Amino acid sequence: MIHPKIPLAQTVIELCKAKNIQHIVISPGSRNAPLTIGFSHDDYFHCYSIVDERCAAFFALGIAQQIQKPVAVVCTSGSALLNYYPAVAEAFYSDIPLVVLSADRPKHLLGIGDGQTINQENVFENHILYSANLKQDLKEENSYLVNEDLPIFKNIENKLERLLGIQQNIQTQNEEGINEALNIAIRKKGPVHINIPFDEPLYERVEALTVKPKVIEVFSKTPKIDDVLLDEIVDAWYHAKKKLVIVGVNQPNTIEQKWLDELAEDESVVVFTESTSNIHHPKFFPSIDKIIAPLNEEQLQALQPEILLTFGGLIVSKKIKAFLRNNKPKHHWHIDTKKANDTFFNLEHHIKTTPNQFFSQFSPKITHVAKSDYQEFWLQVKKDRKQKHAAYLNSIAFSDLKVFQSVLKAIPNHSVLQLGNSSTIRYAQLFKVNKSVEVFCNRGTSGIDGSTSTAIGCAVGNPKQTTFITGDLSFFYDSNALWNNYIPNNFRIIIINNEGGGIFRILPGKKDTENFDTFFETKHSLSAIHLSEMYGFEYQKASNEEELSSALSSFYTEGVKPKILEIFTPRKTNDTVLMNYFKALK
């Protein structure tokens, strides 16, 4: 087998293998050649070549999101590393294990004006779980180790002894740093950065390894709840007649259904979910804004819970955030092994365990609960909203809202849905998604950058068919994502093209002025047809209900290329249709 000659490169590669990190996303460069040589010549690894580092990092994030294991990205020195930052931040806030392997120049070439050189150590320090700054291997020609006072032969012998000793110390430190970084990525589910200095020559190869790095095993266990805290929670739960449970971003199939069923059968509990929660029950409330938006002050007070229990990641709905910040519960408890955001400015307890562990300890202690009509009342409200929702959708003309009704119904069973940010995720929240469909969205930072790249990574990391629904600005912003040789033929992109940032028409501000059109809505007349041709996608378009229905009828049929469906909607009426929707729900 071919290996890089540099021991440090061998060490990084061998420890990645030992930690079962198989997916390696490489961007071309020279300084990272030792890593590229090692990873790409070892059949254990699945290597991908992605030129644009920002796309590469989000592509890797999409794979990691699906397999729930670390995925590595490899880049050369300089500004290449900085292009990883948006994906690193997303991984940090979304708890996705991303391993950044950055090649660097040796210390003597830093700060002297050499090309492709920046300060790479700890560059992600505000959005990283761990940074390992490795030390460069020593070479025999390091003349500073020579003692000129010694006789020539004694000098050479002494030099070699010192070199071997110092190199061994460097090797040990590097092994410890790499092990720690990779173990943290695995155990804590988040991004880590390993900065790796290489000196030339970079392209030398050997057929046998010269290192056998020590592997430090990952130690992890699910913590249990403290008995005193558990008794306190159980006692409060017994007496509360209004308990609200909110589930944020949640991986599919991670919460045991029996715990969800128990929550649903408690008449004092209302469970709010989002599209990204990936849990379902007939008594749950999957469209939060549809419930809250029409409520008057008296109704909001009726919804105000005594206990708020949350688990999962970040929450999309601004309306639920505003409601609970203004109508605070007596108690707010959040379940998560790692962190608890005080989203509603009322967090009382961070319960540091998994939801399954929590309910396994909590549920057996709940032998009775207070009588309540809390759930029944809001189920009637939900029923009313459903009827008004259907009536309004039947009455409106072709628009963004109407389009989402059609495309969400068409998503195939047992497939994966990736949603873009901004208006895309918010429109999707208004509809009940097929419970067999797994839903994802980059809600860590909620940015439009990288959504397409993430969806493509998802399609590579998950054998199920992936559909990506996106707005036009998000799609064009990340169009380099399509410069990718690994896109499966069953991958589908649906672009809602309303010729600009339509969400800004909903927000306060003076519309239909040159300033608004240019700097807020960013009006354009672009189409994806030429990008589709350039990158080998089959292209379809629709501009009305009939064309959309016809396009969707064949969109998911098997083909020899991935497909793009671009849907053009009326730019100046979408906001009115949406605002009238919430009025119609009242």
CATH code of the domain containing 571: 3.40.50.970
Residue 483's pLDDT is what?
A: 97
115 is a domain residue: yes
Helix axes 152-188, 7-18, angle to 10 degrees: 30
Q: What is the average pLDDT value for the chain, to the nearest integer?
A: 92
520 pLDDT more than 90? no
- Give pLDDT, residue 110: 79
Residue 215 lies in a domain: no
What are the pLDDT digits (tens) for 474-503?
999 999 999 999 999 999 999 999 887 666
Q: Which two tokens stand for residue 337?
A: 């092994």
End-of-domain residue from the set 189, 204, 219: 204
pLDDT at residue 220, rounded to an integer:
83
User: How much is the pLDDT for 505?
Assistant: 59
Range of the domain at 482: 396-584
In a domain, 466, yes or no: yes
Cα 70 from Cα 22, distance rounded (Å): 8
Residue partners of 539: CB distance under 8 A and separation at least 6: 528, 529, 532, 533, 563, 564, 566
- The DSSP secondary-structure symbol of 412 reads P
> Is the same domain home to 39 and 156?
yes
Q: Is residue 147 part of a domain?
A: yes
Spatial separation of the C-alpha atoms in residues 275 and 122, rounded to whole Å: 35
Whether residues 238 and 363 share a domain: the answer is yes
pLDDT at 162: 62
Query: What pLDDT is attached to residue 113?
Result: 74
Q: Looking at the predicted structure, is the pLDDT value of residue 142 above 60?
A: no
Q: By mean pLDDT, which of 127-141, 199-213, 269-283 is the weakest?
A: 127-141
The percent of residues above 70 in pLDDT, for the chain, comes to 93
Q: Which residues of 152-181 are buried (b: 16+ CB within 10 A; e: fewer)?
A: eeeeeeebeeebeeebeebbeebbebbbeb
- Write down the pLDDT at residue 149: 46
Mean pLDDT of 133-138: 92
- Specify whether 403 is located in the same domain as 361: no
Q: What H or E segment, with its residue span, contains residue 299?
A: helix 297-303
Which SS3 state, helix, strand or coil, does residue 452 take? helix
**405 shares its domain with 268:** no
412-456 pLDDT tens trace: 999 999 999 989 999 999 999 999 999 999 999 999 899 999 999
Amino acid in position 147 = N
- The total of structural domains in the chain comes to 3
DSSP assignment of 106-174: -GGGTTS--TT----TTTTTTS-SEEEE--PPP-TT-GGG--TTS-HHHHHHHHHHHHHHHHHHHHHHH
pLDDT the model gives residue 161: 56
The answer as to whether 578 is a domain residue is yes
Cα–Cα dist 483/51, whole Å: 8
The confidence score (pLDDT) of residue 524 equals 80
pLDDT the model gives residue 150: 42
Give the CA distances from residue 551 to residues 337, 488, 557, in Å, rounded to whole numbers and listed in that order: 45, 20, 11
Is the same domain home to 428 and 333? no
pLDDT(148) > 50 = no
| pLDDT over 80 at 55, yes or no | yes
Q: Which amino acid is at 9?
A: A
- The answer to whether residue 156 is domain-embedded is yes
> Any alpha helices (H) in 396-422, and if so which ranges?
400-410
Q: Which of 170, 204, 238 is the last residue of a domain?
A: 204
* CB of 401 closer than 8 Å to CB of 578: yes
Say if residue 349 is in the same domain as residue 436: no
Residues 233, 200 within the same domain: no
Q: Which of 204, 236, 252 is the last residue of a domain?
A: 204
Residues 237 and 200 in one domain: no
Q: What share of the chain is helix, strand, coil (3-state, %, to 5)?
A: 45, 15, 40
Strand partners for 307? 243, 331
Mean pLDDT over 274-294 rounds to 96
Residue 507's pLDDT band, with cuts at 50, 70 and 90, is low
CATH classification at residue 353: 3.40.50.1220
Do 261 and 182 lie in a common domain? no
Cα dihedral angle (350, 351, 352, 353), rounded to 10 degrees? Answer: -150
Give the pLDDT score at 159.
58
Q: Looking at the domain assignment, is residue 253 inside a domain?
A: yes
DSSP character at residue 543: S
200 and 241 fall within a common domain: no
In this structure, are 238 and 335 located in the same domain?
yes
3-state secondary structure of 28: coil
The rounded Cα 544 to chain-centroid distance in angstroms is 33
| φ, ψ for residue 545, nearest 5 deg | -65, -40
**Cα–Cα distance for residue pair 344/305, rounded to 1 Å:** 13
- On whether both 463 and 334 belong to a single domain, the answer is no
Mean pLDDT of 492-519: 76
Is 386 a member of any domain? no
